[in-house]
Amino acid sequence: MKKAFPPVVHSDSKILILGTMPGEKSLRLQEYYGNRGNQFWKLLFAIFNYEPTHDYPGKLSLLKTHRIALWDVLEGCEREGSLDSNIKNEVPNDFTGFYKSHPQITHVFFSSKNAAAYYDKYVGRREGIAYDTLPSPSGANATMPFAQKLEVWQQKILPAL
């Protein structure tokens, strides 16, 4: 059973971005979106006009500055490789406890359709929280060019701040 990471969240976090489950490279590095082929960090740095860095504490600082929390829908699963389509025997994270500890979260953005599907299956949408799905930042999602992903991410995330 592969285990996900604890949430990156602060007392003033307003936005929660949810992935499905960390990929192999992320698990090895013990970093959210650790695979450099994934565009997650590149998108966030571009949205806020920051100089990109590979420094993980610098990435986490960006989240804190902009009141963004980060977590995954699944606490654990069995999976060969990094593709969501290979997930088996999934176990969801404790969102009841999370929302009780962090009632200031007003927006949840899913970083993929799969994350949204697992959330809907195991958690369900809560009243008082706005939900939306972003184009996947995964390198495997080559159907949309980076500039178009960035435009959508900006249009959805910036008004939520």
Which structure tokens are listed for 152?
A: 């959508």
Pick the catalytic residue from 38, 89, 93, 141: 38
Backbone angles phi, psi at 45, to 5 degrees: -65, -40
pLDDT of residue 138: 85
For 156, which DSSP code? H
Phi, psi of 6 (to 5 degrees): -70, 165
What predicted TM-score, i.e. pTM, was given to this entire model?
0.95
124: left (phi > 0), else alpha (psi -120 to 50), else beta? left
What is the reported pLDDT for 102?
98
* DSSP assignment letter at 70: E
Q: What is the pLDDT of residue 85?
A: 79
**Catalytic annotation present for 38:** yes
Alpha-carbon distance of 63 to 157, in angstroms, equals 12
For residue 7, what are its two tokens? 């949430």
Report the pLDDT value the prediction gives residue 84, as an integer from 0 to 100. Answer: 78
Quick one: pLDDT at residue 38? 93
Instruction: Answer for the pair 139, 33: CB distance below 8 angstroms, yes or no.
Output: no
Residues of the chain falling short of pLDDT 70: 140-142
- What is residue 141's predicted lDDT score, i.e. its pLDDT? 64
C-alpha torsion 136→23→117→108, nearest 10? -60
